């Protein structure tokens, strides 16, 4: 019986193939100058533009819904979108505000601040959806859910387009 021993950490034979046939890539960290150049080439992701795109798409889909299905469904759809977009906008304001600056002085402060803002955003979204029957006459829960889904999916589409536009460094 042959005993198979693990390869030692010192055994770095150059050019040796891995099990899947690919050669091992060596990781080379960027210098400070290369990192600064990479940052300057990347487009900054603006939360306000993301929120604007969410609002525009929800309003356009709401207008199409009004033309095809009626006013009650359109109002329900737009309210569902607002139940996602409004709390997110408040969270963005909170992240940019003085509370986060004060909390970020402590090591865990930023994490705690983010968790509190995220919890508030989720609670506000749920409260807006629970108050939907009082806020919208002839509420259509299916249209409200469609508005929520549209707003959430637009978020990922915008983030995806931003990632496509980012330059890759290999």
pLDDT tier for residue 88 given thresholds of 50, 70 and 90: very high
Determine the pLDDT at residue 110: 86
Buried-state track 97-124, b at ≥16 Cβ within 10 A, e below 16 = eeebeebeeeeeeeeebbeebeeebeeb
User: 120 lies in a domain?
Assistant: yes
Determine the pLDDT at residue 163: 72
User: 1 lies in a domain?
Assistant: no
pTM higher than 0.75 for the full model?
A: no
User: 33 lies in a domain?
Assistant: no
Q: Is the pLDDT of residue 125 over 90?
A: yes
Q: List the alpha helices (DSSP H) in 69-140.
A: 71-96, 98-103, 109-130, 132-135
Question: Residues 94-123: pLDDT tens digits?
Answer: 988 888 888 888 878 889 989 999 999 999
CB contact set of 59 (below 8 Å; sequence gap of 6+):
78, 81
Contact 110, 120 (CB under 8 A): no
User: 116 lies in a domain?
Assistant: yes
User: 109 lies in a domain?
Assistant: yes
User: 23 lies in a domain?
Assistant: no
User: 36 lies in a domain?
Assistant: no
User: 8 lies in a domain?
Assistant: no
Question: Residues 147-166: pLDDT tens digits?
Answer: 999 999 998 888 787 777 66
β-strand partners of 17: 23
The total number of structural domains in the chain stands at 1
How far does the chain reach from its first CA to its final CA, in angstroms? 45
Domain around 149: 47-165
């Amino acid at each position: 019986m042959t005993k198979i021993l693990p390869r030692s950490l010192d055994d770095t034979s150059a050019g040796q193939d891995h099990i899947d046939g690919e050669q091992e890539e060596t990781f080379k960290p960027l210098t400070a100058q290369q990192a600064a150049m990479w940052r300057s080439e990347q487009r900054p992701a603006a939360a306000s533009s993301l929120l604007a795109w969410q609002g525009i798409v929800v309003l356009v889909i709401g207008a199409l819904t009004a033309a095809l299905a009626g006013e009650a469904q359109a109002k329900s759809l737009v309210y569902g979108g607002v139940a996602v977009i409004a709390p997110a906008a408040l969270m963005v304001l909170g992240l940019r505000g003085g509370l986060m600056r004060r909390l970020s002085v402590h090591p865990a402060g930023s994490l705690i601040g983010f968790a509190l803002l995220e919890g508030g955003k989720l609670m506000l979204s749920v409260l807006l959806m629970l108050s939907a029957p009082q806020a919208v006459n002839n509420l259509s829960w299916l249209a409200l859910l469609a508005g929520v889904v549209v707003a959430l999916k637009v978020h990922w589409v915008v983030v995806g387009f931003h990632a496509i536009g980012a330059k890759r460094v290999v």
